[in-house]
């Protein structure tokens, strides 16, 4: 037989030889334990983690939500710098409607009787002056309070500043009350109405559950232990559950999150879909970086005098903004993810024999014997006979 013919046959054997699994029973408790223990770990992962914890057999959908709020409560203030005043929801809930949020006024700096006129600017290094030459007419400082007229006027008996065209008298916002003006706001309540839908599953629900009626709403108040389904919350309890003190926070304001979790299991055997409420402060409150703390904004109330002059009351409002944040994911049995994860589980199980083989051929004392018995090359009878005949003739 020529060398080329032998090479050709070797190539054909390499390409077309068929390999079939061979059952080799190893009477070894150690190998059997490794095999079964590996199977157990795979099944534990698939059943315990993939199916039970992750619920990978389910299709999922994200929540779509809408929120409306209604704040209720009254307060009365009687301090030296302000006339006695009764406050209702129209006064302290600004604006009355928000996009998933509401604001409750807790402290104010009021500047009443402002008119468009000329007055000396508030003193600071950029506004103090000695004479008119230090004040540029028409100059507009974005951080100032008006447009300079070019005159240097007396702000006080010892300080002169540039005169400005503005709403006068100017606001002095450093006179913030040390105790919140509306300290009673901690007893205000808010009704949160939240409707959600999972469009993929055509599922709709709201946080006013089916067993709640109008009589119940008139008397209930949310309590995590005794009344967790009530959608009416006392502001003091919201702030307290967020780890803050209402009276401290009310002085300069802040931002609080009301988080509603609608994570739902919509399978018929475990149908659970109820809102879970948590509360958290969202704005920065760092003791070492306390620049521009809290939450505030300005607005004005305008009116005209009997002489027709336009007058306004400027209000710098401090308070707590409550952001209602709704999130969640719903899951329901689906045939496609079930088949996909079942296939993944079977593929994991097919790797178990490889682990047992590696242990048998690497860690066992009889690994050489197991290696010889594991793979066998089949020699057909005709080839055996021809080989024996060649041996016989050669000996003759």
User: Which stretches of 207-268 are DSSP H helices?
Assistant: 214-219, 235-241, 246-252
Measured distance CA(65)–CA(83) in Å, rounded: 43
Sequence-separated (6 or more) residues with CB below 8 Å from residue 333: 57, 58, 59, 267
Contact call for residues 281 and 253 (beta carbons, < 8 A): no
Q: What is the DSSP code (8-state) at residue 122? A: P
Vertex 275: Cα angle to 271 and 279 (nearest 5) = 150
Contacts from 26-30 at CB under 8 Å and sequence distance 24+? 26/360, 26/370, 28/360, 28/364, 30/359, 30/364
Cα separation, 256 vs 249, in Å, equals 10
SS in 3 state form for 174-212? CCCCCCCCCHHHHHCEEEEEEEEEEHHHCEEEECCCCCC
**What is the enclosing helix (H) or strand (E) of 105?**
strand 101-120
Residue positions forming the annotated binding site for ATP: 70-72, 189, 296-298, 316
Token pair of 229 as six digits: 């389904």
Distance CA 282, CA 389 (A): 93
Distance CA 316, CA 179 (A): 16
Indicate the annotated binding residues. 70-72, 189, 296-298, 316
User: What is each CA distance from 32 to 42, 362, 375, in whole angstroms?
Assistant: 16, 15, 20
- Torsion of the alpha carbons at 313, 314, 319 and 321, rounded to the nearest 10: 110
Give the CB-side neighbour count of residue 28, counting CA atoms within 13 A.
Answer: 18
| 186/182 Cα distance (integer angstroms) | 8
Q: Which helix (H) or strand (E) holds 278?
A: strand 276-281
Gyration radius from the chain CA atoms: 40
Distance, in Å, from the CA atom of 181 to the CA atom of 201, rounded to the nearest integer, reads: 49
Number of other residues whose CB lies within 10 A of the CB of residue 231: 21
């Amino acid at each position: 037989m020529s060398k080329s013919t032998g090479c050709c046959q070797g190539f054909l054997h390499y390409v077309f030889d068929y390999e079939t699994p061979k059952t080799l029973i190893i009477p070894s408790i150690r190998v059997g334990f490794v095999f079964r223990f590996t199977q157990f770990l795979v099944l534990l992962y698939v059943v315990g983690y993939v199916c039970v914890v992750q619920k990978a057999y389910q299709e999922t959908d994200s929540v779509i939500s809408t929120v409306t709020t209604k704040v209720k409560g009254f307060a009365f203030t009687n301090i030296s710098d302000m006339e006695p005043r009764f406050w209702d929801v129209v006064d302290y809930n600004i604006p009355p409607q928000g996009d998933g949020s509401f604001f409750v006024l807790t402290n104010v700096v009021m500047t009443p009787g402002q008119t468009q006129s000329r007055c000396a600017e508030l003193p600071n290094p950029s506004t103090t002056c000695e004479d008119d030459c230090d004040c540029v007419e028409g100059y507009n400082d974005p951080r100032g309070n008006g447009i300079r007229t070019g005159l240097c006027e007396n702000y006080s008996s010892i300080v002169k500043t540039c005169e400005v065209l503005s709403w006068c008298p100017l606001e002095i916002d450093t006179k913030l009350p040390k105790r919140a003006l509306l300290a009673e706001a901690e007893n205000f309540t808010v009704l949160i109405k939240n409707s959600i839908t999972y469009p993929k599953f055509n599922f709709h629900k709201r946080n006013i559950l089916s067993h709640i009626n109008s009589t119940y709403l008139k008397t209930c108040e949310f309590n995590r232990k005794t009344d967790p389904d009530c959608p009416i919350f006392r502001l003091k309890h919201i702030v307290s559950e967020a780890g803050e003190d209402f009276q401290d926070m009310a002085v300069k304001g802040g931002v609080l999150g009301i988080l509603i979790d609608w994570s739902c299991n919509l399978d018929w055997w475990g149908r659970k879909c109820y809102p879970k409420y948590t509360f958290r402060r969202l704005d920065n409150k760092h003791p070492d970086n306390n620049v521009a703390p809290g939450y505030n904004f300005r607005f004005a109330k305008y009116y005209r005098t009997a002489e027709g002059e336009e007058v306004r009351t400027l209000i710098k409002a401090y308070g707590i903004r409550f952001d209602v944040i709704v999130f969640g994911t719903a899951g329901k049995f689906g045939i496609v993810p079930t088949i996909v994860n079942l296939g993944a589980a079977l593929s994991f199980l097919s790797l178990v024999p490889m682990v047992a083989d590696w242990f048998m051929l690497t860690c066992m004392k009889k690994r050489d014997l197991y290696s010889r018995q594991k793979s066998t090359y089949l020699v057909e009878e005709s080839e055996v006979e021809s080989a024996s005949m060649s041996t016989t003739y050669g000996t003759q």
